[in-house]
Amino acid sequence: MNLPFLGPRHAKKAEAALRADPEAVAALLSECELLRSQAARAGVRLDDTPASLEALDQMVPRWRDDPEILPWLGHDAGLYLGTVVVRTVPGAAWRIRSDGEPVVRLASGRAVEVVPAGEEWAVSGVPELSQLYAEIAET
């Protein structure tokens, strides 16, 4: 959901929308259509749980052969990681930075940049999504 072409003015509107209806924005961020379709083809069910992150980590990364899909899949992987965190870690919530990038804010106040983490995972598989989740959930 990085929308830099919208500029800071629209990022503020996105953050206001998040405050007004956080469930609607969370639903939008959780779509991850490309990741969900790739997972379904591999027989992996994404049910927004930490176990599904482990299943993603075990998938054969066929997307790495397609330079057009790779960045989009990585973006989706980051949003999916954030979705699992927001739905399972008490006090975690989505926030939209001034540049339009969604981040997960933990109860401790720490902001987790999940999209770059998902992009790294898509490119190299390291760190694993389940490992990232475990680290985030500890704090």
| pTM of the full structure | 0.88
pLDDT tens, residue by residue, 70-90 = 999 999 999 999 999 999 999
Task: Return the structure tokens found at 13.
Answer: 């509107």
- Domain of residue 98, CATH code: 1.20.120
How many residues appear in the chain?
A: 139
Name every residue whose Cβ is closer than 8 Å to that of residue 86 and which is 6 or more positions away in sequence.
26, 92, 93, 94, 104
| Separation in Å, CA 131 to CA 57, 58, 90, 128 | 9, 12, 18, 5
Structural domain total, the chain: 1
Helix (H, G, I), strand (E, B) or coil at 126: coil
Distance CA(124)–CA(121), nearest Å, equals 5
pLDDT tens, residue by residue, 4-62 = 434 455 556 666 776 778 888 899 999 999 999 999 999 999 999 999 999 999 999 99
Quick one: 115 exposed, middle or buried, by C-beta within 10 A (0-12, 13-18, 19+)? Answer: buried
The boundaries of the domain holding residue 123 are 4-138
Residue 120 neighbours by CB distance under 10 Å: 16
